[in-house]
Chain A
């Protein structure tokens, strides 16, 4: 197996002294769709903050490697360079509210590429059309619905054709058709551009549709319970929690 795109070793996730997860160990392969799942409040989004570099592990509390390079000990400059290769879709879209959708998507292009304004405009409307928002270039985030904001956030995250895309609950709050379209888009990005994709979600339909591998976090023990293909985990996981979760509670009745 080639070198993993992202490798997490012995990571402890915490807010100050309050430990949320400990002893996290997993690898995310290149061009893989990796799902982080678990019940509400188990620290999925916090783990994502560590992976995207918004939070740094305390010294001795684990490391995160990208392409074999330690992300945490890298110089500020190298870190920034690595982060420019990320695309992140936040839960609420996190669009910059003082800018139009087009300006939101074009900002990373203006800052990090030498494209001419006309090319940037073309890229922007193409990315917006990928998420079904063509024609909304001059709208402000406050003028559109929550689901549209999320899709616009995705267009922004994809603007630079990133190596790694992080999604924080991408399909939550979307109607079934938009959710399906988004899942298709995630798979297509992986297949065509070879993007490594990390998704935080607990939507089972999405998990089974897109995930190659999944990490299950357990809120009570504050540890990772299982890593593997969700379909296999559903049938053969040694942990009842995991099977119950993936069966939407069905197996707990079987066990009774």
Chain B
């Protein structure tokens, strides 16, 4: 704003030593931010050299000033305190004096013990362990409360809005169909394609149907749907609940005597419990269609052969393993989303963290659960 004025002189600092121990700083020209200004180091040198009793200012030739001058005066203030020199501000412009007085009106906030304190190794290990235990506790409390809420729902005592349930069902059911269809179709297609190349060498290409059918029904259908829903719906749950927390909407429920667990978490849990098996059924079907497309176009397999082979390959036991898993996966996806949402801090950044951590937690737990199921099914020999 001031830069354009061509008549401006550069900032100049002159020192005048007077006999009575006064050091006068004569400020000339424009003392503005952005233009070059004499450094406060000069003043320090001068103070060291002559060790004056008082520091004075002469601003007779001062043209223009802004925060640039204020910073300089503030630094002079610090120097004056450091070398116990008195600072006389009479020579400064009125505006500078007033602003400096305002800046000093409220004493600096003292951070009591909040600074970075060097802790011992034992302290660090201990506090980290306590934090891990606390985090685990929170998860167990959440699971416990969720089960209580489900139990209250089972006996018809849970309070929540049915409209919320239907809305969530629509969100994570019908509206997820396109993406689930696309991914499952491609997964079926890819598996058939990879399998076909190998099986053709042995003249066993009809077994592409077994491969695609079993893999979809037992593993891929439920796994892919779980991962998709985790990224799609789990993150959405965490973000929704997190934002509600930031806006104090969850506090508003609590003070009204309504349990956020029943009111917010329960409908979301229920919606995914019911919707994920349906989505998995759909995914299985679409994946098998994907295999059919490859079989018809690349291999000499007819529609009837493929369908017959599928029907032989997939029995009810195989089919139900995927569906059993899907119910559990639904709980995992909704649970991790809601847990991270409810744990959300009080800022918009925390909402992002909650959404990220919901997806990470969800997918990790999904994979672990899938492994556990694989072992259990192996032991049961199904």
Residues in chain A within 8 A of chain B (CB atoms): 49, 52-54, 80-81, 83-84, 86, 88, 90-92, 94-98, 107-108, 111-112, 153, 156, 166
B255→A53 contact, CB < 8 A: yes
Min CB–CB distance A170 → chain B (angstroms): 14
Residue in chain B with minimal CB distance to A85: B257
B252 is an interface residue with CB less than 8 A from chain A: yes
Q: Tell me the complex Cα distance, A226–B338, Å.
A: 43
* Central interface residue in B161, B248, B257, by most chain A CB within 10 Å: B257
A86–B255 touching, CB < 8 Å: yes
Interface of B is mostly: helix
Is B257 within 8 A of A83, CB to CB? yes
Please tell me if B251 contacts chain A, counting CB pairs below 8 Å: yes
Chain B residues, CB < 8 A from A95: 249, 252
| Distance from A164 Cβ to chain B, minimum over Cβ atoms (Å) | 11
The CA of A159 and the CA of B244, in the complex, are separated in Å by 21
Please provide the chain B residues from 161 to 196 with a CB less than 8 Å away from any CB of chain A in the complex: 161, 164, 167
| Cα of A80 to Cα of B257 in the assembled complex, Å | 5
**Within the complex, which residue of A49, A94, A112 is in contact with B252, where a contact is CB–CB below 8 Å?**
A94
Query: In the bound complex, what is the Cα–Cα distance between A52 and B174 (angstroms)?
Result: 40
- Chain B interface residue bracket vs A: 10 to 19
5 CB-based A-B contacts, threshold 8 Å: A90-B248, A95-B249, A95-B252, A96-B249, A111-B258
How far apart are the CA atoms of A92 and B159 in the complex, in Å?
Answer: 25
Residue among B243, B247, B248, B256 with the highest chain A CB neighbour number at 10 A: B256
Q: Is B128 positioned at the interface, with any CB of A under 8 Å from its CB? A: no
Q: Does B64 touch A at the CB level, under 8 Å?
A: no
Q: Is B254 an interface residue (CB 8 A)?
A: yes
Contact A90/B251 with A97-B244, A111-B159 known, Cβ cut-off 8 Å: yes
Please give, as numbers and ranges, the residues of chain A lying within 8 Å of B159 by CB-CB distance: 111
Residues in B neighbouring A54, C-beta threshold 8 A: 251, 254-255
In the complex, the answer to whether A91 meets B248 with C-beta atoms within 8 Å is yes
Q: Which residues of B contact A97 (CB under 8 A)?
A: 243-244, 247, 249
| Given A86-B256, A97-B244; 10 other pairs, CB 8 A cutoff | A83-B254, A83-B256, A84-B256, A90-B251, A94-B252, A97-B247, A97-B249, A98-B164, A107-B161, A108-B256
